[in-house]
Structure formats: C-alpha cells, structure tokens
Structure 1
C-alpha cells in the first residue's frame, strides 16, 4: 500500500497529539473543577448563588471569545499559535487556584481559564479538519473527543483519590493539577506541525458581510440543529441533582460524571468512524432516539441506580452526536472560514445551553425533578421532526 493510500485510511499523528493535549488539559481542569464549588462554599464562604454566577460568567466568556479567535485564525491562515496561546493561558491559571487568598482571585483565574478555552476551541477544531481528508473527519473528531473525555473522568477520579490520601487538602490537590496542564502545552508546541496555507487564502476579513455570505444555508441549518440538540440536553448539574434526589450520598456524586464520561469516551470514536460511512441525518436521528430513552429513564426512575443507567445512556448519546456535529460544521463551511464557522456554532450552542439550563431550573422548581427530563424528550421529538423534513443539501442523507 502506498503512503498516499495509507494517509487516506489512517489518522495522522497530529490528531492523536491534539487528542492527548485535550486529555492532559481536561485532567488538569477537572481535578480543580470537581472540587471548586465545594471549596468556594465550605472554605471561602461563598454562597451557592455566587458559585452559579461565577460559572455562568466563565462559560459565557468562553463562548464569546470563540467567535473572535476562530475568525482571527481564518484571517491569519494559522491555527496552532492561537491554540498554544489558549492552552497556555489555561495552564498559567492553575497555580492561581492553589495560591488564591480569596474569592476575587478565584474569579479572575476562572475567567482567565475560560478566555483560554475560548481562544483555543475554534482554531483547534478547525485545525483537526485541516489535518485530515474529508473522508476521515468523523473519525478524527471522534478520536479527539474520546481522548478529551478520558481526561474528563480521570480528573475527578484523581481528585477523589488525592483528597482521601491527603485528608481533604484542597490546595495540595490543586497543585497537582499544574503538572498535566503544562505537559499538554509542551506536547502541543513540539508535536504539531501545521499545514501550510496558500497566501491567496489569507487576509480577508472573516466576519465581514461578504465573507459571512459564504457560510451558506447548509451551515446555518447545522447551527440550528446544534442549538436544538443543546436545548434538549441541559447542564450536567441536573444529572447530579437527580442522583442526589434519588438517594445517592453526596460523597459519591462525582460517580455520575465518571459514568457519563466513560460512556462518552468509549462511544465517540466508534460512532465518529461510523459517521464517515453512513447518513449524517440518520445518525443524528439515532442520537436523538437514544437521548429520549435517557430522558425517560431519568424522569421515571426514582432511585439513584436508575439515574446512573440514564446517565450511561446520556453519555452514549453524547458520543454519537458531538463529534458528528463538529464534522458537519467542517463539511459545510469553506476552508478559509472554518475557524469562524466553529466560533459561531459554539456561540449559538452556548446560548442554547444557558437557556436550556435556565428552563430546566424553572421546570424543576415548578414541577419537580422529573419534569425537565420529560420536556427534554419532547424537544428531542420536535428536533427529530425537523430532521425528517426533506431539505436538499442541509444534512447528508
């Protein structure tokens, strides 16, 4: 088999490197984030409202920055430098959590960390598309997401073990988080060689009216579908609340995220490969059916065991759809606007997540723990109806 033939069937080393960079940074971030709310409330005396405001401001900051970083990567014709900057900012914030004397420092570190996430997100996703042929995009996004999600469940597990080992010494555990963060930045700097971009494909304003007109109907339909998926799948905080309501002891609540992320990690790559071989529309519909099952289990199962079953199915849905949606963004956006396309997609999805979580909170307060999941299932059904409407060029298949 020739080198060219191998390259069309095998993911390049750069995709694996980006995946392991994501894994290392997620281990670092989740060590801190799995403990931070408790640390803020029990050690620094913050209220639950203040914790919510900090988290909301942090995530909003990340989504807004993604639009501009994606556009800038298109304008420069370069992705790696912005990815290094974003991961570097995230790494530099990690010691601050261990050194912070008060809530103000924690807030500054959290916001700076999310600025870093916003800077790196869209350029990194666009770089994945730059590194592989279109026939391998689903597998590439699935692999990167799988490795990222491995970090998302290793981090909380490591945090639990270290807290038990060191008798709840938060700051000592926060210092451990510094190590994988800087390892990830170093790996990105030395391991990725960015493809050359022809000069003729650079130096246009990617957020001008003329440039945005190149993001056609098919792309914007993907944005709408992504927003509807997110609207049907609210914040993971409600999975934790459902488990607690079902009788799971507080000390074991991180198990909910571990179960979800294991299912997510194990399913993302296989379904990513499958998306390269089958109709995107059909796979999206399958993903929605799986989420409906998860919602119904979570709504009707009152014991925490049923919550874990629902969370497991929820994680499989994530593995089926998240890499696929990224692939669809890459497929429907011109190469010179991929960073901008991912930026706008992430912004709209972020707004949708905020609205979904606010709605879930209202429904929970008004109608009890089961109601948000029943409504989520209804939104899934409506999204399926949209996907079943024939629309040429919108969703493959």
Structure 2
C-alpha cells in the first residue's frame, strides 16, 4: 500500500503553489498539477497526486470499520425486538437519541484534533484512533450486555467513538490532498466506505447462516447473534491496526504554535463568511432531507413493493453511491463543489417528485434508488471538501465538525418533524410538504452561495496557504 510521506519538519512549509511537482495553472483552476506532459506516466503521476496514499489508507480503515459496524446494525433491530422484547417505539427513540448524541460529540472530536502536542504535531490521528478504538471495544461488550439499559450504554459509547473520529478523519483527508483534488479524494474515501456498508450486511447474513441456524429458532438465534458480534469485534480491531500502521502522524504544513485552540475558538470560525454560508445552507437543506428509513418506507408503501424485498432497498442506494462517488467528486473539482452540492439536492427533489407521481412498478423503484444514491454521491464527500476550502489548516478539524454537526442535527430534527407529520396527515402529504420546503431551501441556498469564492479567500489568506475555493471554480 502506498502511503504519502508525512511532513515531519518543524520548519514552515511553502504554500501549495510553490512546492515542487505541485504547481497550479495560471487561471487558478487547479489544472496542470503533476507533470503536465500529457503522457501515460504523467497521467499516472497526476492520479497519485490527486488521491494520496494517506487517503487510500483511511479509505481502507473506513471500509473495514463499516463492515464491522453494518454487521451489527443489520441484526441489532431484530436482536432487540425479538430477543430482548424492546418495542419499535423504544428502539426508534434509542436510535434517534444516540445519533443526535454522536453529532454533538463530533464538535469535541474536531476541537481535540486541532490541539497540538509538544512536538508541534496536530492530533488528528490520535483522536481518530481513540474514536475507532472505542467503537471496536464496544463490539465484544455486546456479548456481555443482555438488558436494554446496558445495550443502550454500549450503543452510546459506540456512537461517541463515531463522533470523535469523523472530523479528524476528514481533516486528514483534506490536509493530505491538494486543494484542487479534494473532491476526488473525498469521493474515493466515500466509495470505499460505502463498499464496507454493502459488505457488512452480507457478512452478517453469512455468519448467521453458518453459526446460528434458522433465525426463528431461539437457541440458534442467540448463538448466531453472538457470532456476529464476535466477528464484528475482530474486524473492527483490524481497522484500528490499519490506521495505526499505514496512516502517517504528521499531515499538515502549518507552523508549530504554542497556543492551543479553545472550543469557543472553533465556534468562532463561523465568522469566516465562506464557512458560515456553507453551514447555514447545510442546516437549511438538512431540515428538509427526509431520512433514509422514511424514504424506504414510502417506496415500499407508495409503490406497492413486496415486504420481502424491503431489506434490499438500502443496497440499491449504496450501490449507486459506490459507483458515482468518485466521478462526481472529480466533477465537483471541475465545476465547483458548492454547485454540485446544490445539484445533488435538486436530484433528491426529483426522487421526491417521482415518489409523488402516479408512476409505479419496479422501474420506478429503481429510478428512485438511483436518484437517492446520486444525491449522496453529490453531497456527502463534496460538502466536506467544500468546507475544507474555507477553513485554515490549523483549525480544519473544528471547521469540518461545525458543518457536519449542523447538518446531522438538522436531519435529526427533520426525522422527528416528518414522523409527526406522517402520523398526522399521512406519508404522501408529509412528503409533498417536504418536497416544497426542499425546493425553497435549494433556491435560498443558491442565493446565499452566489458570491464568488475569491471573496471568501481574501478573508483567510493570511491564516493559511490553503483556503476557500480559489483553487476551483465555484
């Protein structure tokens, strides 16, 4: 595995445009990075520069960790509902609270990652390792927890680990990658992460068949669940080892500083116009983004899909996400990350419209899932890449955490409101209102983000050599 060299010197590092082999075109588009000779060797060199080994290593970590996490997620609802007798409402509340808690912890993870040790190195890898390690530790604890409160505590610890590692991981991706190629790099990472999400449920299914016997047999059911938890724990440990062995400790070129950022300093990053506009738009659009679970239920009920095929719906979204994450990430580097982020929500609006149309049948289901996966491919990693362009390198973790936390909390609020609307007026009417609200938010976000990125670059140029969207068109 190729891993990008870490920057171990304490001396100031030259800005990206002056480093050997990392030149940008005169028009500021980021074109021309690499050898620029147009040969096959030159294209391979440019590809390696676009996606450094550090990004690939972090992608492997996410792939392995997602296999572990999705193995548990695939069987946990049945384990809690049929094995421990938890009600669906209780499970929904438990899952919702833990997801909201994970979003808040993300702020702490970003803040801790930006703090520097005595050698001047930031702690992105250390905080990420703690997060991955905590989640890995939770998997075998599920073998010992047999009551709902204990399992709730284990899930809370697992979500804490996820919240801690997200911002440092994304910060490492942005710091290891040239600004002009961040969209592609995040696309590669998200594609590998999604591959893990696809393999996880399949692995859990195979483990249940091999170890547990029929799901409806009580003895076999418990044995099978325990086997899934045990295998998941081993896979999670493998992910932590990959992180420790193949991801370098030093990634950024910021000068060592004796000052340590405070948590309120991270919140103060919202004074940066580019980050503030992006965060506001992410929150507004998140408030009108119906959760995946509700969307799949609407597909099943609105289009008359057989219940036996319901578990396959997430695989359709994940498959489209996997195929499109890299090409759409590269497209974002060319046309502008904010533009593609907004276009992704327009695609989601098309999916809502298709669900509300009189069309039905397998072809309609396939189109909805394809549009849903396209939405994620055009927004998930692209938002992180766009946010990285607006934040100084020394506070990259905190800045990414702000945007991600705002979006996650907004989507959590949307789930609560949409669930209440569904109960009150029905799923179709609730989706109609959500689609209208999303259309208004897309138009409003386009207005907020209309200002050229060069104006934002001027506000942060003194803080770091890499900032805003001056490298790519917006």
Aligned equivalents of 1:228, 1:36: Cα separation in 2: 32
CA contact (8 A) 2:317 2:373 kept: yes
Aligned equivalents of 1:83, 1:294: Cα separation in 2: 35
Tell me the residue number matched to 1:34.
Answer: 74
Cα deviation code 1:299-320 (max 9, x no counterpart): 3367573344312211111101
Shift of residue 174 of structure 1?
2.3
Match of 1:299 among 356, 377, 394: 356
Tell me the residue number matched to 2:13.
Answer: none
Shift of residue 244 of structure 1?
3.7
Rg (Cα) greater in structure: 2
Partner-residue secondary structure (3-state), 1:177: helix
Partner-residue secondary structure (3-state), 1:99: coil
Cα deviation code 1:195-242 (max 9, x no counterpart): 255553463324335982574011011111111232222221112322
Aligned equivalents of 1:209, 1:300: Cα separation in 2: 48
Q: What residue ranges of structure 1 are gaps of 5+ in the alignment?
A: none
- Of 79-88 and 246-255, more deviation after overlay is shown by 246-255
Tell me the residue number matched to 1:262.
Answer: 319
Residue 386 and residue 326 in structure 1: after superposition, are their counterparts in 2 closer, same or farther (change >3 A)? same
Aligned equivalents of 1:381, 1:79: Cα separation in 2: 37
- Of 371-380 and 28-37, more deviation after overlay is shown by 371-380
Aligned equivalents of 1:213, 1:359: Cα separation in 2: 29
TM-score normalised over the length of structure 1: 0.92
Tell me the residue number matched to 1:317.
Answer: 375
Aligned equivalents of 1:128, 1:273: Cα separation in 2: 15
Aligned equivalents of 1:256, 1:301: Cα separation in 2: 20
| TM-align CA RMSD | 2.3
Match of 1:167 among 214, 219, 223: 214
Partner-residue secondary structure (3-state), 2:143: helix
Partner-residue secondary structure (3-state), 2:134: helix
Shift of residue 140 of structure 1?
0.9
Tell me the residue number matched to 2:232.
Answer: 177
Residue 342 and residue 209 in structure 1: after superposition, are their counterparts in 2 closer, same or farther (change >3 A)? closer
Tell me the residue number matched to 1:326.
Answer: 384
CA contact (8 A) 1:32 1:177 kept: yes
| Correspondence 1:121 to 2:166 | yes
Aligned equivalents of 1:87, 1:52: Cα separation in 2: 25
CA contact (8 A) 2:332 2:382 kept: yes
Aligned equivalents of 1:315, 1:265: Cα separation in 2: 8
- Of 315-324 and 298-307, more deviation after overlay is shown by 298-307
Q: What residue ranges of structure 2 are gaps of 5+ in the alignment?
A: 1-19, 23-33, 35-44, 117-121, 216-223, 457-468
Tell me the residue number matched to 1:92.
Answer: 137
Moved over 6 A (4+): none
Tell me the residue number matched to 1:217.
Answer: 273
Partner-residue secondary structure (3-state), 1:60: helix
1:19-168 aligned at under 5 Å gives the runs 19-76=59-116, 77-165=122-210, 166-168=213-215
Tell me the residue number matched to 2:16.
Answer: none
Identify which of structures 1 and 2 has the higher relative contact order when contacts are C-alpha pairs closer than 8 Å and 6+ apart.
1
Aligned equivalents of 2:99, 2:50: Cα separation in 1: 35
Q: Answer 1 or 2: which has greater helix percent.
A: 1
Cα deviation code 1:75-96 (max 9, x no counterpart): 2222001111100111111112
